[in-house]
Amino acid sequence: DAKTTQPPSMDCAEGRAANLPCNHSTISGNEYVYWYRQIHSQGPQYIIHGLKNNETNEMASLIITEDRKSSTLILPHATLRDTAVYYCIVTTDSWGKLQFGAGTQVVVTP
Amino acid sequence: NAGVTQTPKFQVLKTGQSMTLQCAQDMNHEYMSWYRQDPGMGLRLIHYSVGAGITDQGEVPNGYNVSRSTTEDFPLRLLSAAPSQTSVYFCASSYRDHEQFFGPGTRLTVL
């Protein structure tokens, strides 16, 4: 599976959009981009995934560049409850065998 | 639905002891897996199962055994606990539709 690179940390003001970048320059054509988050020692929570197209659900939007070498997770209106570690994962498995890196620690401040 | 449940929540073992971490899901998911998370690190896959009677190794399988006799349950066995196995253990399940559901974790300390 392709390796991902994320910034170790970022801050965001409550109510503003949080844009979380992820670099996956070695991604192959059949690899999905997944985002999970982990709130303070809880089990990780699925956010969104995509293959080529941009995706949106009730939690977030995923923007994948045309060459698929990077992506951005957008939390449109960050709340204090969005403070968590966010993991960007690239894998061919549609169900499991996720490889978690260190992720990005996002802190949402009032 | 209770989702994915794990027991116990906390456990302290002495080196050499054995124990079983329990994981159960009530969503009729085919796929189940076990991860461990060491302090400050991401999760690493220990073992996984694609259905009852079928298991396979993940990234860090040494020191752990699994079996899958039913769709609902996927226990993780530590045969002879070592301090290096001190970690938080997460169980997860999914159906085939990309989203994995994780349990709340078991915090294990081996002295």
pLDDT digits (tens, 9 = 90+) for B49-60: 999 999 999 999
For residue A51, the chain B residue with the least C-alpha distance is B98
What local confidence, expressed as pLDDT, does residue B96 receive?
Answer: 72
Do A94 and B101 lie within an 8 Å CB cutoff?
no
What local confidence, expressed as pLDDT, does residue B98 receive?
Answer: 74
Cα B99-B37-B82 angle, rounded to 5 deg: 135
| Residue range A52-100, pLDDT digits in tens | 989 999 999 999 999 999 999 999 999 999 999 999 999 887 666 888 9
What local confidence, expressed as pLDDT, does residue A94 receive?
Answer: 65
What local confidence, expressed as pLDDT, does residue A72 receive?
Answer: 98
- Band the pLDDT of B40: cuts 50, 70, 90: confident
| Residue range B59-109, pLDDT digits in tens | 999 999 999 999 999 999 999 999 999 999 999 999 876 789 999 999 999
| Residue range A13-45, pLDDT digits in tens | 999 999 999 999 999 988 999 999 999 889 999
What local confidence, expressed as pLDDT, does residue A35 receive?
Answer: 96
Percent of chain A with pLDDT over 70: 95
Interface A:B, Cβ pairs < 8 A: 63
Rounded to an integer, what distance in angstroms lies between the CA atom of residue B100 and that of residue A44?
Answer: 9
What are the chain A neighbours of B45 within 8 Å (beta carbons)?
96-99
Cβ-in-10-Å burial (0-12, 13-18, 19+) of A110 comes to exposed
Q: Is some CB atom of chain B closer than 8 A to the CB atom of A9?
A: no
For residue B102, the chain A residue with the least C-alpha distance is A43
What local confidence, expressed as pLDDT, does residue B97 receive?
Answer: 67
For residue A96, the chain B residue with the least C-alpha distance is B100
Q: How far is A62 from chain B (nearest CA, A)?
A: 15
Classify B84 as helix, strand or coil. Answer: helix
